[in-house]
Chain A
Amino acid sequence: MKFISYIQNKPFGNYYIPARFQYVILRDYFKKNNKLFSLPQGEPIFSKTSIRLRTIIKKLNKFDNLILLSIFVLPDNRLIREEILKNLLKKKITTHFIFENIIAKDKKEYDRVLKDIKLNKLTNLKG
């Protein structure tokens, strides 16, 4: 079961963390889980389609682990976000959301992640 991570070079949720420090957090998480750290791949800052994240998920094998800093690195676009979580579930990928301390691997947990993001958006509506 591989651990693969992913970073974003733009703000996510209430956070903005330079790539170098995202590496530090991820490296520490890998270490705590006794996993060999591999360099995370970053999302192009201008991408509207989360192409890097979609590619990583496509390449993951069944039962692999995806390590994300937060639920808010998931795509802003609801349709792409839902599609991504559907694929994670289909491939039985365990997704670790470090900041929220969530480890999602079944439908109930992934649905919770979707609801949390939706609720955050509802309560921060931009006119």
Chain B
Amino acid sequence: MQKKNIQSLLNKGYFIIKLDKKYYRELRNFIIKKIDNKNKNFKLNDLHKTVKISNLNKLRISLFKSINKNLKFKNNLFNSAEKFIEGCVGSEICSSDVNLSIQMPNDDTSLLEMHADFFSGESLFQINLWIPFVNVKNTQSMFIIEPSKSFEILKKIKNDKTINFQKIHKKYSKNFQWLNLKSGEALIFSPNCLHGNTINKENKTRISINIRYKNIFSPYNKTKNEKKIGGFYKMISPKAVTLFNLKHNFDEIIQK
């Protein structure tokens, strides 16, 4: 991974990469096939022309299940950006399930409002790989707030009884960095930074997936409901010593 990517992650909370074309094409074709549109000229960003918002949740759940059942899809996903993921979290990696997001124009039922992923007990030591399958810009995309400003806001979220997300949104919307990506590009970002979306005011649908990666041996804390390996994170690339200790039970000897 290049130094400019690391600098961008440290300063802006993200960097943009070009995915391996072969793997990206396979991922995209899988999604298109599962949507099963009979129209040969069908474009993913026109999905709102054929699917009603009232049917969107059904489609989303069906796609989510298909993607996460398919081991090849998850492998292709990892392979498409492997060197960058390893550059961020090291070589012994675990991941979450793959999440899928469909943001149709003017749909207010699919919002992911401003948040950081540790709001729900996810690790501070993870990075997210976010892949849109269409070109995205402005509100069709997602926003992120740079690390130091995110920290300033998070302190208020934790302790300030007079503030709410509406006020935060109003005061800090000038700090939203809307991300413009072309199909075939992906975003790697720290989900410790506040991020989210608003109602898509463009006239095109966004279909994107995201997945969290972290090191198997990253620190854990004492937060109740912290997401851990086995439940939320699944092992991807254990190395020999880890495999050795999984095979044999030496850990039982040192435990009380």
Interface residues of A (CB under 8 A from B): 9-11, 16, 18-19, 27, 36-39, 41-49, 51-52, 54-55, 58-59, 80
- The CA-CA distance from A27 to B60 in the complex, in Å, is 13
Say yes or no for B46: interface residue by CB 8 A criterion. Answer: no
Specify which chain B residues have a CB less than 8 angstroms from the CB of A45 in the assembled complex.
Answer: 118-121, 223-225
Output the least CB separation between A27 and chain B (Å): 7
- The CA-CA distance from A42 to B121 in the complex, in Å, is 11
In the complex formed, the residue of B with least CB distance to A2 is: B108
Query: Do A43 and B119 have beta carbons less than 8 Å apart?
Result: yes
User: Do A38 and B110 form a contact, CB below 8 Å, given A11-B225, A16-B225, A51-B163?
Assistant: yes
Within 8 A of A (CB), among B72-129: 108-113, 115-116, 118-121
User: Which label, helix, strand, loop or mixed, suits the secondary structure of the A interface?
Assistant: loop
Specify which chain B residues have a CB less than 8 angstroms from the CB of A41 in the assembled complex.
Answer: 111, 113
- The CA-CA distance from A19 to B161 in the complex, in Å, is 25
Specify which chain B residues have a CB less than 8 angstroms from the CB of A19 in the assembled complex.
Answer: 120
Specify which chain A residues have a CB less than 8 angstroms from the CB of B157 in the assembled complex.
Answer: 44, 47, 49, 51
Query: Do B164 and A58 have beta carbons less than 8 Å apart?
Result: yes
- The CA-CA distance from A82 to B246 in the complex, in Å, is 51
Output the least CB separation between B223 and chain A (Å): 6
